[in-house]
């Protein structure tokens, strides 16, 4: 084992993005959002569960008042591949009509889930919707989504850590990594 990987549950996980790189990018994204929303009070909609660490970190870097709400959606289950069927398992508690909304997403893969979320939220008549995604996976997409605040472009690997999981494992890793003997 080297300093760029760890063994967790007998699985070798290779570091793709370090904790310091994550925190630097989160600070940069928070500064951009602060500039863009200097006279507004956006609602940050965290997409659970994967984005919970990201939203906790980025909200501390946003220097304008924000309001929080949460949605949970499912398209993966316990699999490494999306089922293609998006289900809302926890909806918003707040009314977003006439409000500025920023979707906080952990990773954009096929784009289907994000597209579904945007259409669902647009139907609720917010003033604006923007997307802040930590990771943009390099995969062919039929659906193009406009992501205003993008963290990192990553290769087509199944990643874990910093909130992202594989069957509910590895969310607590302080970095983004991938299982080295898998994709």
Q: Per residue of the chain (183 residues), what is the pLDDT tens digit?
A: 456 888 777 788 999 999 999 999 999 999 999 999 999 999 999 999 999 999 999 999 999 999 999 999 887 555 555 556 788 999 999 999 999 999 999 999 888 889 999 999 999 999 999 999 999 999 888 778 889 999 999 999 999 999 999 988 999 999 999 987 654
The confidence score (pLDDT) of residue 1 equals 42
Tell me whether residue 127 is in a domain.
yes
By the 8 A CB rule, do 70 and 48 touch? yes
Edge-first strand order for the sheet with 159-160 is 5-8, 11-17, 176-179, 159-160
Tell me whether residue 8 is in a domain.
no
| Helix (H) and strand (E) counts in the chain | 3, 10
Catalytic residue check, 109: yes
Tell me whether residue 168 is in a domain.
no
Which one of the listed residues 57, 100, 106, 109 is annotated catalytic?
Answer: 109
CA 127 to chain centre: 22
Tell me whether residue 47 is in a domain.
yes
Kindly report the CATH number assigned to the domain that includes residue 103.
3.40.50.2020
Tell me whether residue 74 is in a domain.
yes
Domain that holds residue 26: 19-153
């Amino acid at each position: 084992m080297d300093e760029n990987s760890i063994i967790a549950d007998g699985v070798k996980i290779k570091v793709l993005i370090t904790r310091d790189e994550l925190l630097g990018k989160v600070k940069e994204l928070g500064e951009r959002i602060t500039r863009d929303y200097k006279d507004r009070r956006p609602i940050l909609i965290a997409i659970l569960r994967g984005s919970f660490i990201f939203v906790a970190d980025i909200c501390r870097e946003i220097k304008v008042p924000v309001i929080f709400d949460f949605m949970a959606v499912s398209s993966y289950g316990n699999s490494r591949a999306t089922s293609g069927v998006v289900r809302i398992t926890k909806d918003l508690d707040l009314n977003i009509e006439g409000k500025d909304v920023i979707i906080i997403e952990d990773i954009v893969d096929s784009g289907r889930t994000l597209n579904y979320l945007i259409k669902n939220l647009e139907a609720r008549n917010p003033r604006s919707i923007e997307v802040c995604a930590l990771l943009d996976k390099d995969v062919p997409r039929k659906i193009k989504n406009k992501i205003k605040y993008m963290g990192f472009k990553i290769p087509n690997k199944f990643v874990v850590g910093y909130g992202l999981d594989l069957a509910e494992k590895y969310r607590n890793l302080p970095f983004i990594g991938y299982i080295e003997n898998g994709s």
